[in-house]
Structure 1
Amino acid sequence: MSARSKRSQSAADMFPGMPDVLPKRPPKATEDSWKARTLDEAIARSYELLDQAIVKFSAGDATTVVTKGKRAGQVINYGPRELAGIFGLYSGGRDSVNTQHLLRMFMKDRPLFRHFFQGIIHVNTGTAIEETTQHVREAVPAWGMQLHELTPKATYLDLVLGNVRATVGPNIGRPVWLGFPGPGKLPHNVMYRRLKDEPLQRFRAGLVGRGGTRRKVMYVGGMRWDESDKRFRTAEEVDVDGGIVWVSPVVHWTNAHMQEYRRRYRCEKAHKHQPHRLCGDEALPVNPVTENLHMSGDCACGSYAKPGEKEERRFFYPANAELIDLWEKTVREAGIAANVWGQAPPKGFVQIPAGDTDDSVLERLCTNCKPPIPGQDDLVDHWLARGLITVDQHAAFTRSA
């Protein structure tokens, strides 16, 4: 069978052991990186990518070339390169679990690199579905790996209430945000920077300090070209950002590769499964939240929330929906007009009193945060087809949407 002709085509049409590839070359892909591969060939490429990145940033000297001024062209040597640590990034989502399972297998096969690997990072935004947080806390130690659970300095509710103030610039002392974020690049970027990027940057600073030119922290995440149009345009195999080296070893994997990998390593035996289906040393853990909601559930900032999402959360995870209800009540009582989670603010409402718009970052960890695709099947339709909800419940969800 040949490779799929469209990125949107179902991964279910791929037979195990057959090659798959994207229909066109991603803008940041090299000629070799996006060629058609079987799953085993895709895994081999992931190993090769990790090998190359680790060697590059742990061997030789760290040098830069001056590009401006009288010293333009001069080479500055900062001394021997050193990896301060390699860390996997685990949200609890499907792509995330595949990536960290792959990283764990890689480290078992690479004894010379194991001393660099210092565990798994989970950014606890304070908004997650509790079952996802618990899954991460239990699955990572069960894998035999150290868990680093990071939290943001500012809470989500403080951001929404306007309690987080600018500390630099002309608007110092003014709120950096106000009200629930609605759809759009700016609202989501502000939430991402404060809730996910800030803890990772602070963690990196604690390890390397001012030595980021010579000493790097390597974060291994699950960005892929095939997961969304945004990722197709922006994702790279290796991306250096100051003291951080972002590595995406599965960037070339298609949706079919990811599905075949889950089938290969997920325990499907007819027996009583261990918690998270960790029924053997090589078993792929399962987060039940991803099975029910088709998302990791690690964040509930509300940017790009689809219509009726809160009620979908309430159906399986009522405590998370009740938390959102409490946020809405608190924001209403504070007299803030943008007081409905997951909806755009009223017309004319100013959400950025401090003008905090310039410091945008690449949202490397939010794989499922994107606007709804027109014509996309709703999750509640999937639930109805699987018999998880009744026709009356489906109608109730549709009315709320």
Structure 2
Amino acid sequence: MSAPVDTATAEPVRLRSLTWTVFVPMALYGIGVGAASPMYALRALDLGASIGLAGVLVSLSGLGMVLADLPAGRIVARIGERAAIAVGSVLGVLGVLCAIVAPNVGVLAAGMLLNGAAGAVWGLARQSYIVAVVPAAERGRAMSTLAGANRLGYYCGPFLGAALVHAMGPSGALWLQLGTTVLSGLAMVAIPSPEGADPDVGGHTLRSVVVENIGVLGTLGSAALLMGAVRAARIAVLPLWAAHIGLSASATSVVFGIAGAVDVLMSYPAGLWLDRRGSRATGVPAMVLFAIGFGTLPLTSSMLGMGAVAVVLGLANGVSNGVIMTVGADAAPDGRRAEFLGAWRLTHDIGMFAGPILAGAISAVALLSVSALALAAAAAVGAVATHRWFPGAGGGGGRG
């Protein structure tokens, strides 16, 4: 596994030098995902799926990520970041091709699972690379910029893919994702290996790493899980509330566009604050903003009111940019970093996968407003957990 650069003996890597090798490829990858994400449900409908089944098929991407998080840690540890990125890119290409050529929903389901697995391997490999080459003092900015680049691409993707969708239907956006996956994968595979990089061939197992760090994963991980849940549920609940109060599709798009811009613009400032004040001072305000946003959503009945809530939630998401990756990097034990980060990402991704499902389940048996209030309560509990377990300025990842 790649060891972090010893900044006492090696020239530290500056963030600017990673622009074309890491951040731009990440934005390119995000463009493809952003363009294709709304189209997978339409692709399922084209194959004869019901609306309910289409929703389930789309959620399989999240399931694939959850299932692949732990194996991804072992893959990165065994073969290194560059080779793992190649593996993730191949999985992504296969997943998109399955979706494009799928003759039935079964093949599309396989493609969605592969897409999720690709995201897990890609995500862990890029995070591990940043940890290996960026000095700890700039880690928050690096992680926030990485997350912001991905979100910028995701935000721009639907606009850039619109012409292809108009000409080719839903598959046009999938072809765009295929191309950006290949190009971004090639760009990141071409990056130089971190100094001192050596794939891990130690005797420890993935299970032993998880067992050794179960206390950290159980405490820090509880906050990460709740943050993942409210982040993902935001995407599911806001469109439903917009429909509930009678907003048109175009008005909903405008609201999401404004909130998305706030999210992206907060990325680098959030990273600066994270480096200077620590993850507790960043994570707690983010969770409080999530609680305020979800708690006030049931009080809105107009585009202006919902837009204000969407901006608050976009601000919360932007403030939280890079927090989870930075806390995990700081908490990871030397010599077992990739395996630990795989387990760490699993805690957050379980929340990402479960949040929208739980919100939908609550809405199915109660009012949508009850679902929003439940998410506000989860965010409040997450703020308490973040304050209790996340390290402050100069903290060491919560290991004490």
TM range (shorter): under 0.3
Q: TM-score, normalised by structure 1?
A: 0.23
Structure with max Cα Rg? 1
Q: Structure 1 or 2: larger helix share?
A: 2
Highest RCO, 1 vs 2 (Cα 8 Å, sep ≥ 6): 2
TM-score, normalised with respect to structure 2: 0.23
